A and B are shown apart, each in its own frame.
Chain A
Amino acid sequence: MSDELINLTIDGVPVSVPKGTLVIEAAKQAGVLVPHYCYHPGLPVAGVCRMCLVEIEKQPKLAISCATQAAEGMVVNTQSAAAKSARTGVLEFLLINHPLDCPICDQAGECELQDFTFQEGRAGTRYSPDYPKRFNPVEDFGPDVLYVPNRCILCTRCVRFMEDVAQEPVLNVSERGDRAYIGVHPETRLDHPWAGNVVDLCPVGSLLSKDFLHKARAWELDKTASVCTGCSQGCNVTLDTRENVVVRVRPRPNLEVNRYFICDHGRMNYRWMNRGDRIEAPLVRRGGELHATDWQDAFERVTTMLRGAGPRVVALASPRASTEALFFARELFRGLDWTGAFQVVMGEEASLAGVPDLALRAERAPNGRGAELLGYGRDYAAALAAAESAAVVLVLDEPDIPVRTAGALIYAGTVLPERARDAEVVLPIVNVAEEDGSFVNRDGRVQRYAQAKPAPGMARPGWWVFSELGAALGHGEPVGSAAEAFERVAQAIDALRGLSYEQLGFLGKVAAAPVAV
């Protein structure tokens, strides 16, 4: 697309768009959503649903706005009688073979066929109830995808995703005419590591996630902007919660990071957010046993421990912790001989062929880069060795760490593993779904995530716990919000200087300076 601007009018609203912009995209700028099914900005244009027909002055026929480029002086009318009647006609055709089983369909409430039918469909059908509807049984396409052919409107988004984006063309349109259906290659399954996106792309309830099947109605869901913790890519996601339980993870468009997609690993990486065996109160060791206590008591234990301790301290932090928590956890040990380290779990890399720089990364950690920025190192073995003779060891949400120390162990985490029972103090913190915070992805992009559900019991965000402790040690005022916490981080860390929570917005910002490691 060039810099040259094209001026056109859509439903009376003048807009200027770069040359090459499609009318359907230009319409969005004019505040007009042209109803459509087959068009998707992340896929090649198919122009088959014929739903986005609009009237363009001086053109003899209605045009599909998804395949028509904006032209200088073009006058587009999406609401003319001819355009509306054509779209009503398409909706009627789409519905004649549709089972209208919305009450048992997972898509109901977020179904584009429902939405546009309410908007401009006919009130009744002219298709005689005597005619049979097309019927094909439900098909098991892959590990997480079911195909319900009766609901399919053959928009081919799924076919184009597999062909052009995943570049593993295992889906097609089989048969012809009204017998057509989406076919899967007879010798393969829809098991590409990014295959789950076809469920999001499907505008109706034809491709369903087995994981989400019959879990919730769309209108019961609360949606929260978040960042995937599955790997270091930092894909933007939406956490869907139902009564404070995360039930689904879906991609949130961010053209700079993940476009419109997430991988199946990330999609399925949410059940731990709902764990029931959480630490709900601070614990302190008394008479060889851990006892629940209040925050005041726990803070006093920690400050006493730190004031009387020798100079060597070690922090073993999780690369899934927020930048804010990692920062204040380090600040706690200001003036001491501090070693911080983190460990990254490695897995198989799985790229999405059609999108450059997008992959499920081998490093399964959302904030390794953030930890590095804050001075945590990758030499985990050395840190573990140092821990053995350290005066104080802080373990930040790493329940499986084989830590041994002659000094005092502080464990801050979400769950309490057997090993952590040696700790002097246990501080309950929240998980990613329960706090506001930020991660720095592998490319240095700082991205915010928001709180999707309440924290259990007395658990608090890591930044709150460590900033309160820091204040108790006389390191200055504690912070009251994630935004304030980030402000402190940005003041202290060169690479993040000048950034604010507000600026980061929903899409994040790349750290100003290249990160020296």
Chain B
Amino acid sequence: MGYPHKPHPKETVLLSRYFGEADARTYKGWVKRGGYAALEQARAMEPARVVDIVKESGLRGRGGAGFPTGLKWSFMPKEKKKPHYLCVNADESEPGTFKDREIMRWTPHALLEGTAIAAHAIQAEVAYIYIRGEFTEPLAIMDKALTDARSAGVFGNLKIHLHRGAGAYICGEETALMNSIEGKRGNPRIKPPFPAAAGVFGMPTTINNVETLAAVPHILTKGAAWYKGLSLASPKSTGTKLFSVCGHVQHPANYEVTMGFPLKDLVYELCGGMRPGRTLKACIPGGSSVPILDRAETESCLLDYEGVVERGSMLGSGGVIVFDDSTDMVYQIMRLARFYAHESCAQCTQCREGTAWTTKILERILAGQGKTADLDLLLDLSENMTGKTICVLSDSCAAPVVSGIKKFRSEFEDYIAGRRKPVMVA
């Protein structure tokens, strides 16, 4: 990527090509860089054709679930009987993830163009871009870009609204986001009905992640086949992906690589490796909600949807959190659990009570008052919290706990046995 440093030779800069260039933020600057050509191209096509192209490209959702984008668009009713809506999920709140923020900060028009193309493909007349409340700078930039592009008349009849979130993690869950747009409490909804049948305001809705939509113009201008060719390992994972790397690496930043890129190279080459004298201990590859990888798994992991699953985790949002050997895994896991306990929407029993209980147990282990039975209890609670609730927040709390105990059990046992100095948890 172009900001805050020059692209690494092993990066494939597509979305991040203009990061750092202030001129690219302006409407004129964007058009000069070939912007909005894809939108014109799409407008000249039947909506179904655009859907097919995106289907052929193999583009999958970049928000976490990795659902094929073209397929998702094709779920919208063919015969339009009600208003169609497009929601853009710019509520990037997953701990460890900061890619959408950079897309909006540097290339706001890329998102607007992708949004307009998607809206054309699904025949939506209104699009809501739901921006995380804390993203004040991206919001201002998006607002300016939207005003400029609108006055240039590029959106035709499409109405695009920016909707600012109010600070809840759960509003990044697609149905909670829709409730939030409607002015309701951001509670996830039971599915079915799925958004394509009844989404925002009960109307057929498609919801896509910022990075997903930012990739769409490239697919149209360069072709589905070209995009599909961007794949180093599994043919089911195509294109480029932005990885937000944070933690104990030399150069934490966003990096854009082709799907199937080795995680090892990302950490040791692109990020400059670990801090001096430190070795890699663990890595969370896809944002805080996915299972933790140990060193061996990290170093043998390929970064695409299938590759990460093969190592027992998930690609998720592409938020890579790297831990070196100085890391207290028990503490890190407690911090994650506490985050989920704080953010649980309180609807489902398992999540509301389970996330808080898990946090209490972890805090007590850290305080040196844990019991051996606590580890089995944590695993059993996690089992009860997995796959049984409306959304996956509860599962997300369980994932690091289960993988953490499995892979770093001795650290927990050290606290319990008194071999490690207790940590006072504030």
Contact = CB atoms under 8 A, between A and B. Distances in A.
Task: Find the residue from A47, A97, A175 having the highest chain B CB count within 10 A.
Answer: A47
A48 B349 contact: yes
Contact of A51 (B349, B354, B387): B349
Contact of B387 (A48, A62, A64): A62
Given A45-B190, A48-B390, A127-B357, A176 B346 contact: yes
Nearest to B371: A128
Contacts of A15: none
Judged by DSSP, the binding face of A is loop
A94 B356 CA distance: 12
B206 to A, nearest CB: 23
A126 B357 CA distance: 10
Nearest to B360: A131
B231 interface: no
A178 interface: yes
B384 interface: yes
Contacts of A32: none
Given A47-B190, A86-B384, A93-B384, A173 B185 contact: yes
Contacts of B349: 48-51, 90, 93-94, 153-154
B346 A154 contact: yes
A450 interface: no
Interface string A122-137: 0000111011000000
- Looking at chain B's contact residues, is the secondary structure mostly helix, strand, loop, or mixed? helix
B364 interface: yes
Nearest to B341: A177
B350 to A, nearest CB: 6
Interface string B351-378: 0111111001000100001000000010
Interface residues of A, number: 36
Given A93-B353, A176-B168, A177-B343, A50 B388 contact: yes
A50 B389 contact: yes
A177 B348 contact: no
Contacts of B377: 126
Contact of B390 (A47, A90, A126, A176): A47
Given A50-B388, A50-B389, A176 B343 contact: yes
A93 B388 contact: no
B185 A177 contact: no
A172 B344 CA distance: 16
Contacts of A6: none
Nearest to B387: A61
A89 B350 contact: yes
B8 interface: no
A96 interface: yes
Contacts of A62: 387-388
A180 B185 contact: no
A52 to B, nearest CB: 11
A178 B387 contact: no
B342 interface: yes
Interface in A71-105: 85-86, 89-90, 92-94, 96-97
Interface in B329-343: 341-343
B220 interface: no
B346 A96 contact: no
> What band does the interface of chain B fall in when counting residues whose beta carbon is under 8 Å from A?
20 to 34
A180 B353 contact: no
Nearest to A179: B346
B347 A128 contact: no
A217 B345 CA distance: 35
B190 A67 contact: yes
Contacts of B190: 45, 47, 64, 67
A53 interface: yes
Nearest to B352: A178
Nearest to A47: B190
A86 B394 CA distance: 14
A111 to B, nearest CB: 16
Contacts of B381: 89
A129 B364 CA distance: 13
A428 B349 CA distance: 56
Nearest to B384: A89
A86 B342 CA distance: 23
Nearest to A89: B384
B353 A128 contact: no
Nearest to A181: B346
Contacts of B360: 128, 131
B384 A173 contact: no
Interface in B377-401: 377, 381, 383-384, 387-390
A130 B384 CA distance: 22
Contacts of B341: 177-178
Given A45-B190, A53-B388, A126-B377, A176 B350 contact: no
A175 B349 CA distance: 15
22 contacts: A45-B190, A48-B348, A48-B349, A50-B348, A85-B384, A86-B384, A86-B388, A89-B350, A92-B384, A93-B352, A93-B354, A128-B360, A154-B346, A154-B352, A173-B346, A177-B342, A177-B344, A177-B346, A178-B352, A178-B353, A179-B346, A180-B352
Interface of A: 45-51, 53, 61-62, 64, 67, 85-86, 89-90, 92-94, 96-97, 126-128, 130-131, 153-154, 172-173, 175-180
Interface of B: 168, 170, 185, 190, 341-350, 352-357, 360, 364, 369, 377, 381, 383-384, 387-390
Given A93-B350, A130-B364, A179-B346, 17 more contacts: A48-B348, A50-B388, A51-B349, A61-B388, A64-B190, A67-B190, A89-B384, A90-B349, A153-B349, A173-B346, A176-B168, A176-B170, A177-B341, A177-B342, A177-B345, A178-B341, A178-B356
**A-B interface, 5 closest residue pairs, ranked by CB to CB distance from nearest:** A89-B384, A180-B346, A93-B353, A178-B356, A177-B344
